[in-house]
Amino acid sequence: MKELKQLLIMMAMVIVGITAMSMAPSSVHAATDNSLAAVQKKGTLVLATSPDYPPYEFQVNQKGKSKIVGMDVSIAKKIAKDIHVKLVIKSMTFDSLLVALETGKADMVLGGMNPTPSRRQSVDFSDIYYMGGQDFLINKADASKYPNQKSLANQKIGAQTGTLQYNLAKKYIPGVTIKGMDKGTDLVLALKTHKLEAVGMEKPTAEAYAKNDSSVIAIHSSYKLDKNSTGSAIAFRKGSDSLVAAANKSIREIKKDDLINKVYLNQAGKYLKVNTANTSMGHYWKYFAEGVEYTLIIAAVSGIIGVLLGVILALMRLANNKLLKGIAVGYIEFVRGTPLMVQVLFVYFGVGVIINLPALVSGIIAVSLNSGAYIAEIIRGGIDSVSKGQDEAAKSLGLSKTDIMRSVILPQALKNIWPALGNEFISLIKESSIVSIIGVTDLIYQLNIVRADTYRGVMPVFVAMVLYFILTFGLTRILNHFEGRMQHDS
Amino acid sequence: MTHNAVIEVKDLAKKYGKNDVLKNISEEVHDGQVICVIGPSGAGKSTFLRCLNKLESPTKGQIKFNGTEITTLSEKELSTVREKMGMVFQNFNLFPNMTVIQNLVLAPIKVKKMSSQDAEKEARSLLKRVGLEEKANAYPDSLSGGQQQRVAIARALAMNPQVMLFDEPTSALDPEMVGEVLAVMKELAEEGMTMVVVTHEMGFAKQVADEIWFMADGYIQEQGTPTEVFDHPKTDRAKDFISKIINS
Ligand SMILES: Nc1ncnc2c1ncn2[C@@H]1O[C@H](COP(=O)(O)OP(=O)(O)O)[C@@H](O)[C@H]1O
Ligand SMILES: [Mg+2]
């Protein structure tokens, strides 16, 4: 009963902590507006974007270096130049962009984003800088079957989840079945394999796909829309009036000279050609290499920290001290009871309100804290598996508790749990891929970039799959080697 | 005789929940004495032995070792008592992750802060004594039960204990290996080691023991020389038990 009570208190403390942190941002934007001055003082304008959306923003692989380019990036550059600061680009998934803004990870967000009323509730928007219009992508073979929006009635249509295109199709096309996916590349793949009849997209994106893939074409939609739900605007943290004003000034200049159509889109088109000139996977090996590198770094560092944390938690859990035990039990139960993805988001955005941690560090912390809890349970099981007689024999020799643990119990426990620990390390390699949502350039992240850049749906997935397999298989061999070495004693 | 009692037990009782395992035991073990404890299974013999080095905490009563009360000592202070009381278990309890020699030197190095050379030298001479010199670098699991138990005895002796406690050291062994272990114990007794041995080996007890304690139902029901207890048991419980082990 007492233990249950302690556990509940622990939980309550954790929840209070989280709530306190989630309250913090509101006090941040309650401050009077010094947003422009603040940006100018630090000398950098931080743009958050999701570079898998050509021609708005995407990554280009030029002279062995990869950089983020596109129409939105050109606009961001101009704004930075106009207020005399340097542009810094942070990449992450589309879903994370506005959170990054609210939690101070970024100063502005460009992502072909429509300033919808619901988004306006949490952020401020600049004037509309571009009216893309809405298209559908269809298979070329279906050109006569689906000449216009009306002909798509009662069909299966795809759109990115949470986007305007998704809501429009649902609302205005009679009898339609909507299939939502996260990635444009996945939608196009579904289209080409006839799981979908059409995909709703922004006009420039649809045109870019059509240009790069001869089996699909773009047709215009006939939605009647107001500017706010179809144009793109720049998002800022609430209350950044001076920064918004500065951006609007730059946007007016861009519009006056029609820079988007005359310059930016042409540049983007050229970059796209660079990307699609050679879409062989070999050409993109550097992307994959970097992905493998980051995946390994995260798994290795988190594995080591996880083991250390796991040992500490396991010893706390086995301790006689009720408080230590309660803390360990509460921690383990809490971590195991929440998804890793939520933990990653919490560390990056939630804790980020207090200390601004880079994405990689946040990712490693979250994955370490997570695996620590699982490893603690494995280790506890291992310690329990060592017979009581071992402890008694060691005690009867006068050995201290620490020496018994270190020389007698833990080595035997380690041997017993080695296979389970191996499983945990393997799953660490695979599960850590969730950090891609906060823009850590691990293998999954790079996979999505390559898919977006090359307009190839399947091949990059296959390459990533093989790479993951090589990593886990290699690790299995190494672990087996050590297991063999521990076997000499039996 | 009380002046040289190594272990003094007074009013010792032990309960596991509602189960009265030991009910009021008062005994003394004197320097150089060999005591054999016999009695039916479940009588509380192991529990009694394990109370002596406080692997179990008594519910009531006092235990003095060399005149020092040990029931009130902390786990840390107990370590200095335990190193002077070697214990040998029914299931050997060698550390399977270490070689034989590592099993022997661990405690001397960690507890007595001996140098590893000294500890190893000592260990090798002990292994020679139990006839297992050539097994120094073997792992316990590759040894026979008899060999493992001899290593376990050597490991306890490596701490140079004042008393040795044995809890049915031969009951887990195949019959052909019992002799080699008893031989080592006999030699130890002849050298003057103070020993408390829980055993069913009548031959050994008759030959080596100074005193036999017969235990049943949580009491020491009868005690005396081997001849007194084995040949002229007074209580029916003892008569019954002794006739059973003789005929088995
Ligand atoms: N750790 C324990 N917890 C609960 N009961 C125990 C424990 N150890 C022993 N007992 C009980 O104490 C009694 C005596 O056990 P033990 O001392 O092992 O007897 P013996 O060694 O004479 O066979 C038995 O009834 C046994 O079930
Ligand atoms: Mg017993």
The predicted-structure confidence for B54-73, as pLDDT tens digits, reads as follows 999 999 999 999 999 999 99
**Cα separations in angstroms, A445 against A48, A65, A241, A290, A437:** 15, 17, 34, 10, 8
Tell me if B110 and A400 make a contact (CB, 8 A cut-off): yes
Q: What ipTM did this prediction achieve?
A: 0.94
Residue A32 confidence (pLDDT): 63
Residues with CB under 5 A from ligand 2 (ion): B 46
The reply to whether B135 touches chain A by the CB within 8 Å rule is no
Q: Is the pLDDT of residue A421 over 70?
A: yes
Tell me if A397 and B83 make a contact (CB, 8 A cut-off): yes
A172 close to A159: Cβ distance less than 8 angstroms: no
Among A172, A220, A239, CA closest to A35? A239
**For the CA of B168, the nearest ligand:** 2
Residues A200 and A484: their CA atoms lie apart, in Å, by 56
Q: Is the pLDDT of residue A479 over 50?
A: yes
Residues A450 and A52: their CA atoms lie apart, in Å, by 9
Least reliable range by pLDDT among A29-38, B127-136, B188-197:
A29-38
Residues B103 and A285: their CA atoms lie apart, in Å, by 53
Nearest to A396 among B53, B96, B141 (CB): B53
Atom of ligand 1 nearest to the CA of B17: 4
**Residues on chain B touching A397 (C-beta within 8 angstroms):** 82-83, 86, 106-107, 111, 155-156, 159
pLDDT bin (cut points 50, 70, 90) of residue A43 is very high
Higher pLDDT, B106 or A66: B106
Q: Is the pLDDT of residue B44 over 60?
A: yes
User: Is B192 touching ligand 1 by the criterion CB < 6 Å?
Assistant: no
Residues A275 and A60: their CA atoms lie apart, in Å, by 6
Q: Which of B76, B89, B98, B110 to mutate to test the interface with A (most CBs of A within 10 A)?
A: B110
A230-261 per-position pLDDT tens digit? 789 999 999 999 999 999 999 999 999 999 98
Cα angle B127, B133, B138; round to 5: 100
Higher pLDDT, A222 or A276: A222
pTM: 0.76
Please indicate whether the domains covering A134-224 and A283-489 agree at the CATH topology level: no
Mean pLDDT of B239-243: 91
A344 close to A366: Cβ distance less than 8 angstroms: yes
The reply to whether A319 touches chain B by the CB within 8 Å rule is no
Residues A448 and A59: their CA atoms lie apart, in Å, by 11
User: Is B43 touching ligand 1 by the criterion CB < 6 Å?
Assistant: yes
Atom of ligand 1 nearest to the CA of B48: 17
User: Is B212 touching ligand 1 by the criterion CB < 6 Å?
Assistant: no
A257 close to A149: Cβ distance less than 8 angstroms: no
Tokens representing residue B87 in the block: 């214990």
User: Is B81 touching ligand 1 by the criterion CB < 6 Å?
Assistant: no
A271-283 per-position pLDDT tens digit? 888 877 777 888 8
Residue A64 confidence (pLDDT): 67
CATH superfamily, with its number, for domain A9-129+231-277: Periplasmic binding protein-like II (3.40.190.10)
Q: Is the pLDDT of residue A21 over 60?
A: no
Among B189, B169, B191, B190, CA closest to B180? B169
Structural domain spans, chain A: 9-129+231-277, 134-224, 283-489
**Residues on chain A touching B87 (C-beta within 8 angstroms):** 392-393, 396
Burial class (CB in 10 A: 0-12, 13-18, 19+), A8: exposed
* Contacting residues for A188 by C-beta, under 8 A, at least 6 apart: A137, A199, A209, A213, A216, A455, A457
User: Is B2 touching ligand 1 by the criterion CB < 6 Å?
Assistant: no
CATH superfamily, with its number, for domain A283-489: MetI-like (1.10.3720.10)
The reply to whether A389 touches chain B by the CB within 8 Å rule is yes
How many interface pairs between A and B have CB atoms less than 8 angstroms apart?
78
B19-39 per-position pLDDT tens digit? 999 999 999 999 999 999 999
Identify the three-state secondary structure at position B103. Answer: helix
Residue A349 confidence (pLDDT): 86
Structural domain spans, chain B: 96-160
| β-strands A156-160, B34-38 pairing | unpaired
Residues A105 and A433: their CA atoms lie apart, in Å, by 21
Mean pLDDT of A393-415: 94
Residue of A nearest to B141 (CA): A490
Q: Is the pLDDT of residue A67 over 80?
A: yes
CA B122, B123, B126, B132 torsion-angle sign: negative
Mean pLDDT, rounded, of chain A: 87
H/E element, B215: strand B211-216
The domain A134-224 is placed in CATH, from the list 3.40.190.10, 1.10.357.10, 3.40.50.2300, 3.40.50.720, at: 3.40.190.10
Tell me if B93 and A389 make a contact (CB, 8 A cut-off): yes
Residues A331 and A7: their CA atoms lie apart, in Å, by 9
B232-240, long-range: CB < 8 A, 24+ apart: B238/B214
**Residues on chain B touching A407 (C-beta within 8 angstroms):** 95, 98, 106, 110
User: Is B49 touching ligand 1 by the criterion CB < 6 Å?
Assistant: no
Tell me if B159 and A397 make a contact (CB, 8 A cut-off): yes
Residue B60 confidence (pLDDT): 95
Tell me if B139 and A415 make a contact (CB, 8 A cut-off): no
